[in-house]
Chain A
Amino acid sequence: MRPTPAANLVRVAGVTLLILWSLGPIVMGVMTSMSTQPETQQVPARWIPEDPTLDNYRALLGGEKISSDDAAADSSQYGRAIVNTALATVVTTAIVLAISVCAGYGFSRTEFKGSKQLLWIVLATMVIPIFTIVVALYKLMAELQLINTFAGLVLVYASSTAPLAIWLFYNYVRDLPPDPEEAALIDGCTRFGAFRRVVLPQMRSGIAALTAIVMLFVWGQFLIPLLLTSTEETKPVTVIITEFIGKYTTNYPLLTAAGILAVIPPAIIALVLNRHIRGMLSAGG
């Protein structure tokens, strides 16, 4: 079927609109982040900076102190927050990945007494809203003195992402062709040998996708660290960003520069691995 010229026109218009909607706020953010504060206070508003500056980025990454007087945080705290977020993301992802790759394969390719029931229990926990668990976990964390610790934060992150990750990977393995594993077993491989040497390499794309999805999830967490962290040593970048918002005035260039910097790692992950991510997210239906 060759599309008619009218259909083509609709497609071009639709795609243009979609790109404007998706990228517009990001482009506006970049513009604001390179403006000066007086420029953003002009009426009528100035969208494009007269003389683009990278001062805010320099302050955020160089440890300089810039902020509005009534804001709780200033730019010098940003570097540490990015490091906190990155560390928590990497460690959580490693834990969740190990658990869910093993469980995803185990639940879809092996069968033992009670395996289906166990799968259902694990998947049912997805329905429990994160908040119910987090409020309860807060109490346990307080008892174990894990509030404001890296370990406590990572455990709660992992608990809130693992069920989804297990489900996504279970679906992924279920749709994976079983022939290579069968061939390996016929050739005399043990189950574990086949898993390690044949199935693990076969799951490369799925593992890449799951890594990306879990990283994106953890990187953006806000409510959990808002409850569990209150020190500079543990606060992630999402929490620090909200503290740049003043009670009465907001330094928009600084705030948006902080936002744009925090967006760079997830944007790279999403763009580089987008084919894998799409494959995994749309397999579940």
Chain B
Amino acid sequence: MTTGSTSGTWGSARRLLGFDLTGSAREGANLGRLLVLPAIAFTAVLIIYPLIVGINTSLHENVPTINAPADFVGLENYTNALKQPSVGSSAVQTVWYVLLALAIEIPAGLAIAALLHRNFRGRGLVMAVLILPWALPSVVSGVLWRRVFDPDSGLLNSALVQLGVIGEPHVWLADKGWATLFIVCVHVWGMLPLVALVFIAGMQAIPDDVYAASAVDGATPWKQFRHITLPLLLPSLVVALVVGTVNAINIFDEIYVLNGTALNTRSILMEVYNQTFIAGQFAQGLALAILVGLVTGALAIGYAMLLRRRTV
């Protein structure tokens, strides 16, 4: 989901706090402490504490029962996890999911935004339809698309056989390349609305005068898009990249519904799921989950720095 810069217009709040209205600054501080307290307590108990427990568990030997005492083993679980061949293949597979998803989401999101960012008759309705796939559970997206790819009575096979493109039905999801592409297709179906919304907001933030002035100077629509829209859209592009990347790394539901945990399409989170809950390697699964978390965090920070370097 959306992540991005939090430094922004503190101006309005500053104005409120800047001058002391009958002691309202101190009163405000007290109210503030009271209001953020539930969030802090919640974060501490349900996110930070489990995170610490998780890191600690990942540094100890795997034990068959959860409460049994375990020996400290350092990074052994991490190295063991990385040694599994299925970890390597699912990591590579996940990289493919991320790259393919971004390769579709970014251009398609830009195209949709270019289409919808200005007002026209019926735009409200089109926007409502646009966000619908994002609102649906991704399990259901998988269910809705599943029959399309079914080898026996699938709609895709039927259409292609009838058109004479293929001679006989093809088992699409058994073919690694096709399966990857179709899973990405289902994933993009659900994510594209969000990416498009990010770009629409970015385009709407560009003042119309800029376009008007450049039109006077004789700029063509393509030149306007290339030299005005794209550079000014950089912050939105970073947000879209973060949203697209994080969601693609976390891909799970669509694959589970379309192809189960089959090795040929297994994502890294599926591998975590398998190691932890199917193979019962709890500590090792946690180690792998933490590694995935570190990579995700590093990528998000990397994108943010890309933005900072370009704008400062």
Residues of A whose CB lies within 8 Å of any CB of B are 1, 7, 11, 14-15, 18-19, 21-23, 25-26, 28-29, 32, 40-45, 47, 98-100, 102-103, 105-113, 115, 118-123, 125-133, 135-137, 139-140, 142-143, 155-156, 158-159, 162-164, 166-168, 170-171, 174-178, 181-182, 185-186, 188, 190-192, 195, 216-217, 219-223, 227, 238, 241-242, 245, 250, 252, 255-256, 258-259, 262-263, 266-267, 269-271, 274-275, 277-278, 281-285
Residues in A neighbouring B165, C-beta threshold 8 A: none
**Contact indicator A132/B54 (Cβ below 8 Å):** yes
Stretch in B82-90, B93-101, B135-143, B171-179 touching the partner: B135-143
* Complex alpha-carbon distance, A22 and B273, angstroms: 31
Could you say which residues of chain A place their CB within 8 Å of the CB of B211? Answer: 1
B38 and A242 within 8 A (CB):
no
Q: Do the beta carbons of A143 and B67 come within 8 Å of each other?
A: yes
Q: 10 additional contacts, CB 8 Å, given A25-B144, A115-B32?
A: A1-B215, A28-B148, A109-B32, A131-B272, A227-B273, A238-B139, A242-B256, A262-B140, A271-B132, A285-B201
Q: Is the CB of A222 within 8 A of B201?
A: no
Pick from A15, A28, A174: contact of B147, CB below 8 A. A28
B3 at the interface (CB under 8 A from A): yes
Contacts of B220 in A (CB 8 A): none
With a CB–CB cut-off of 8 A, which chain B residues contact A221? 137
| Total A-B Cβ pairs within 8 A | 337
A263→B51 contact, CB < 8 A: no
With A177-B12, A262-B140 in contact, do A103 and B39 touch (Cβ < 8 Å)? Answer: yes
Contact check, B289 vs A162: say whether CB atoms are below 8 A apart: no
Given A105-B35, A140-B50, A242:B135 Cβ within 8 A: no
Name which residue of chain A comes closest to B38, CB basis.
Answer: A99
Greatest chain A CB density within 10 A among B10, B24, B137, B148 is at B137
Q: Which 10 A-B pairs have the closest CB atoms?
A: A110-B32, A136-B54, A282-B201, A220-B137, A106-B35, A270-B135, A103-B39, A159-B46, A112-B29, A45-B158
The B interface, classified by DSSP as helix, strand, loop or mixed, is helix
CB-CB < 8 A to A120: which residues of B?
Answer: 6
Contact B126 A19 (CB under 8 A): yes
- Taking a contact as CB atoms under 8 Å apart, the answer to whether A267 and B253 are in contact is no
Q: Roughly how many angstroms separate A241 CA and B254 CA in the complex, as a whole number?
A: 13
CB neighbours of A135 from chain B (8 A): 54, 272, 276, 282, 285-286, 289
- With A131-B289, A133-B50, A139-B282: A242-B139 Cβ-Cβ less than 8 Å: yes
Residue of B nearest to A122 (CB): B43
Measured CA separation A54–B13 after assembly (Å): 56
**Contact-size category for B:** 35 or more
Contact between B132 and A107 (Cβ–Cβ < 8 Å)? no
Chain A residue nearest to B160 in the complex (CB): A44
Q: Is B72 an interface residue (CB 8 A)?
A: no
Q: From A257, which residue of chain B is reached at the shortest CB distance?
A: B143
Which A residues are CB-close (under 8 A) to B133? 22, 25
Contact B135 A102 (CB under 8 A): no
Quick check: B162 and A23 within 8 Å, CB to CB?
no
Rounded to whole angstroms, the CA-CA distance of A136 and B169 in the bound complex is: 44
B71 interface contact, C-beta 8 A: no
| 12 A–B pairs (Cβ distance < 8 Å), ordered by A | A43-B153, A120-B6, A127-B293, A132-B293, A136-B50, A155-B46, A174-B9, A175-B9, A178-B16, A191-B30, A216-B135, A285-B4
Among B2, B35, B42, B161, contact of A158 (Cβ-Cβ < 8 Å): B42
A267 near B136 (CB under 8 angstroms)?
yes
Find out whether the CB atom of B239 lies under 8 angstroms from the CB atom of A284: yes
- Which residues of chain B are near A186, meaning CB under 8 Å? 21
CA distance A15 to B15 in the complex (A): 43
The reply to whether the CB of B312 lies closer than 8 angstroms to some CB of chain A is no
Contact with A along B109-129 (1 / 0, CB 8 A): 001100110001000101111
Known contacts being A18-B130, A222-B256, is A109 close to B16, with CB within 8 Å? yes
The answer for the CA separation of A182 and B19 in the assembled complex, in Å, is 11
B36–A115 touching, CB < 8 Å: yes
A185 near B43 (CB under 8 angstroms)? no
- Given A108-B13, A110-B35, A129-B293: A191 in contact with B27 (beta carbons within 8 A): yes
Verify B282–A25 contact, CB threshold 8 A. no
Q: Does B213 contact A (CB under 8 A)?
A: no
Please state if A191 and B28 are interface contacts (CB–CB under 8 Å).
Answer: yes
In the bound assembly, the distance between CA atoms of A267 and B189 in angstroms comes to 15
Q: Which residues of chain A have C-beta atoms less than 8 A from B277's C-beta? A: 227
A110 touches B28 (CB 8 A): yes
A43 to B157, CA, bound (A): 9
Bound form: Cα–Cα A9–B282 in Å? 57
Q: Which of A143, A174, A182 interacts with B66 by CB under 8 Å?
A: A143
In the bound complex, do residue A284 and residue B39 qualify as a contact, i.e. CB atoms below 8 Å apart?
no
Q: Is B264 engaged at the interface, CB distance under 8 Å to the other chain?
A: no
| Bound: A258/B228 CA distance, A | 47
Which chain B positions have C-beta within 8 A of A166? 39
A5 CB to nearest chain B CB (Å): 14
A178 near B46 with CB under 8 A, answer no
CB distance from A169 to the nearest CB of B (A): 10
B296 CB → nearest A CB, Å = 5
Cβ < 8 Å to A, chain B residues 39-67: 39-40, 42-43, 46-51, 53-54, 57, 66-67
Whether A267 contacts B35 in the complex (CB less than 8 A), given A159-B47, A163-B43, A190-B27, comes out as no
